[in-house]
Amino acid sequence: MSGSTFGTFFRVTTWGESHGPAIGAVIDGCPAGLALSEEDIQKHLDRRKPGQSRYTTKRKESDKVQILSGVFDGRTTGTPISFIVFNEDQHSRDYGNLATTYRPGHADYTFDQKYGFRDYRGGGRSSGRETIGRVAAGAVALKILESLHVQLTTYSSSIGPIHIPEEDMDFSVISQNQLAMPNLDYAKKAADYLEQIMKEQDSCGGTIQCRINGLPAGIGEPVFGKLDATLAKAIMSIGSVKAVQIGDGIQVASSTGSQNNDAFYIEENQIAKKTNHAGGILGGISDGSEILLTASIKPTPSISQVQQTVTDQLEETDLVIKGRHDPIIVPRAVVVVESMAALSLVDLLFQNMTSRMDNFVDFYLRGEP
């Protein structure tokens, strides 16, 4: 179990290395009868495709997905769905000293420690290209969520020091800027900041927020299978994420009970909350209000500056990483965060179907005595 499988009920396994022949994923557990086409997947893959803005690597990949199984006559059959994306930009090249030198901030050293050797071409399995499989599977999860009218809104909430206050967010403009920010003025400031960072041959980080609306109350399992715990694992499993917050997140630590408790009241004959410090989750279970999660993304570790490092022969050396690298991965990671959130939600929605006897009996005996 090398850990490449996510989920219990909607189970996704991703496979593939950056410079192998192909990369892909298998979903085991998608219900039968969901309308699904390659275009449904492609539109999300295109959100993370390289070469779409001046802030991404020049690697040329069309990242065209093919569905190899599990769909018949345009609908899922209930059996495993296999996706494949062939790597196009995998021609032999000069990897220079990357086979023997450990890049700071990368997994080169830890892979060698764990496995004794590694596929050093482009980061191998720890490459960001691994997320292609996540996004392909996430696209299916998003379609399932759509059928329940569950909506995910995901965006760059900050880039480097440029942080958008919640009151200035306009989610309708997220797709109108290359940085996936919910405010065009801040996006302009962030772009200026990125130009400066690029001039300095440096990189920067940022934060991504995902807001989930329309999720029924009652989703998530008490104790270890909490909704927030599941989301935390899913989001922290994305390379470069170093913090996950739910609702008010780190601010709760300096708050008080009287401030932080969300008072219940009745609105239109339904239970509602006056505030949402909790981020839509109480005791690990959704309460029907908006779920807010925030992921903090570290700066891209590949920078063009000279860096001090070591080789696998325990010699100190200077490293210059060639080629152009993403000065920031935040905008491209937005769809990955959304995908991982969607995979978590679908898994827990399926799990919740067995939480009550009355539902179970009704499911099997509908109308029977």
Q: Could you say which of 137, 284, 334, 336 contacts its own copies (CB under 8 A)?
A: 284
Stretch that binds its own copies, among 42-50, 56-64, 166-174, 343-351 (CB under 8 A): 343-351
Report which secondary-structure segment, H or E, holds 13.
strand 11-16
Q: Which two tokens stand for residue 357?
A: 């006897």
CA distance 355 to 344: 17
**Binding map of its own copies across residues 188-207, x = CB under 8 A, - = no contact:** ---------x--x-xxxxxx
Between residues 172 and 254, which has the closer beta carbon with respect to its own copies?
A: 254
Q: At what angle do helices 38-48 and 330-352 cross, to 10 degrees?
A: 140
Query: Is 155 a binder of its own copies (CB under 8 A)?
Result: no
Closest by CA position to 26, among listed 72, 61, 87, 67: 67
Q: Which of residues 223-262 bind its own copies (CB under 8 A)?
A: 223-226, 228-237, 239, 241-262
- CB of residue 203 to its own copies, shortest distance in Å: 4
- CB of residue 202 to its own copies, shortest distance in Å: 5
Query: Is 172 a binder of its own copies (CB under 8 A)?
Result: no
- Residues with Cβ within 8 Å of residue 306, at least 6 apart in sequence: 318, 319, 320
Closest by CA position to 162, among listed 131, 185, 138: 185
- CB of residue 42 to its own copies, shortest distance in Å: 17
Query: Is 106 a binder of its own copies (CB under 8 A)?
Result: yes
Q: How far apart are the first and last CA of the chain?
A: 46
Which neighbouring-strand residues pair with 16?
23
Query: Is 122 a binder of its own copies (CB under 8 A)?
Result: no
CA distance 68 to 90: 22
Does the annotation flag 283 for ligand binding? yes
Block residue for tokens 């962030």: 190
Between residues 172 and 348, which has the closer beta carbon with respect to its own copies?
A: 348
Between residues 172 and 286, which has the closer beta carbon with respect to its own copies?
A: 286
Query: Is 335 a binder of its own copies (CB under 8 A)?
Result: no
CA distances in angstroms from 107 to 90, 113, 311, 315, listed in the order given: 20, 10, 14, 18
Between residues 45 and 219, which has the closer beta carbon with respect to its own copies?
A: 219
- CB of residue 240 to its own copies, shortest distance in Å: 8
Closest by CA position to 341, among listed 213, 223, 232: 232
Chain-centre distance of CA 249, in angstroms?
Answer: 18
Between residues 172 and 310, which has the closer beta carbon with respect to its own copies?
A: 310
Q: Which of residues 26-85 bind its own copies (CB under 8 A)?
A: 26, 28-34, 66, 68-70, 72, 75-82, 84
Stretch that binds its own copies, among 4-12, 44-52, 168-176, 180-188 (CB under 8 A): 4-12
CA distances in angstroms from 55 to 251, 331, 332, listed in the order given: 32, 9, 10
Count of residues touching its own copies (by CB under 8 A): 171
- CB of residue 179 to its own copies, shortest distance in Å: 14
Between residues 154 and 203, which has the closer beta carbon with respect to its own copies?
A: 203
Closest by CA position to 53, among listed 337, 298, 332, 333: 332
Please give the annotated binding residues for NADP(+), written as ranges: 48, 54
Please give the annotated binding residues, written as ranges: 48, 54, 125-127, 283, 298-302, 324
Please give the annotated binding residues for FMN, written as ranges: 125-127, 283, 298-302, 324
